[in-house]
Chain A
Amino acid sequence: GQQVMQIPQYQHVQEGEDFTTYCNSSTTLSNIQWYKQRPGGHPVFLIQLVKSGEVKKQKRLTFQFGEAKKNSSLHITATQTTDVGTYFCAGLNYSSASKIIFGSGTRLSIRP
């Protein structure tokens, strides 16, 4: 079945440093989504990428979708303590009954 992997599993950075998490799917995706889960919370939708090679920005966050629509990345510039949490990519494939398959996640912690 479809698998979505993320690296790294954990990242501990100094506040102000940049952070990047990478996502790879075993199959071509219809779209890729990113979610953030704060400790003790539930996943919250951040963004959706649909087009091959698409790049979207949300303030300090930059999201990319690979040309082959099998990989993606999230880059955070100048991290802040509010960025703490686990970031999940999630792949959707319309040929798989529109199920969203979540990646393994990257947990970001920040030293103030």
Chain B
Amino acid sequence: SAVISQKPSRDICQRGTSLTIQCQVDSQVTMMFWYRQQPGQSLTLIATANQGSEATYESGFVIDKFPISRPNLTFSTLTVSNMSPEDSSIYLCSGQRTGGLNTEAFFGQGTRLTVV
């Protein structure tokens, strides 16, 4: 597997502002994804971060609210825009290789976001 460095690890933000979360992988990965996890809940997929093109969003998530960049195979950002308290959650990025025997996801440490 690879190692993903995610930052910030936590932040407290004012409503109406935006926060950008960064993930850096220590090696090239085919796929990168962004998830949201409410405390005690499962992981909800926000979007697939596509290298060099627009991200693919899951139902209920839109680009205006969660713009995503992936300029190369080792880096991606997620921005939570115009935040409200409902956006308070843990945000996780993951990397995944495809084409081989193992297609497991490995995760960054997560960003715990609190919107006040």
Contact = CB atoms under 8 A, between A and B. Distances in A.
A99 interface: yes
Contact of A43 (B40, B43, B56): B43
A48 B43 contact: no
Interface stretch (A13-21, A69-77, A100-108): A100-108
What is the size category of the interface that chain B forms with chain A? 20 to 34
User: Which applies to chain A's interface (DSSP): helix, strand, loop or mixed?
Assistant: strand
A58 interface: no
Interface of B: 1, 31, 33, 35, 40-43, 45, 48, 56, 59, 92, 94, 96, 98, 102-110
Contact of A92 (B41, B92, B94, B103): B103
Contact of A42 (B31, B45, B92, B103): B92
A31 interface: yes
B21 to A, nearest CB: 13
A99 B103 contact: no
A88 interface: yes
A102 B36 CA distance: 11
